[in-house]
Amino acid sequence: MKTEFRNSFAKNLRARRKDKDFLDRVKEVIEEVEQAADLSGVANLKKLRVTIVGFASATSA
């Protein structure tokens, strides 16, 4: 699969550059995703569930 990253992702990784274990785990996961043909090929992938509690609406008069 093709992967794309936001600039903020790279910034977050730079902030944790001293944590080599974390960076190694991130690298392994990225490589696993890139090698997978589809999402079923990614281990331990969990579907996100979103619950909308409420919303606000702003209207101008």
**31-47 confidence digits (pLDDT tens):** 999 999 988 888 888 88
pLDDT < 70 positions in the chain: 55-61
pTM greater than 0.85 = no
Handedness of CA 41, 46, 25, 4 (dihedral sign): positive
Q: Where are the alpha helices (DSSP H) in the chain?
A: 7-15, 20-35
Report the distance separating Cα 33 and Cα 3, nearest Å.
8
Report the distance separating Cα 7 and Cα 11, nearest Å.
6
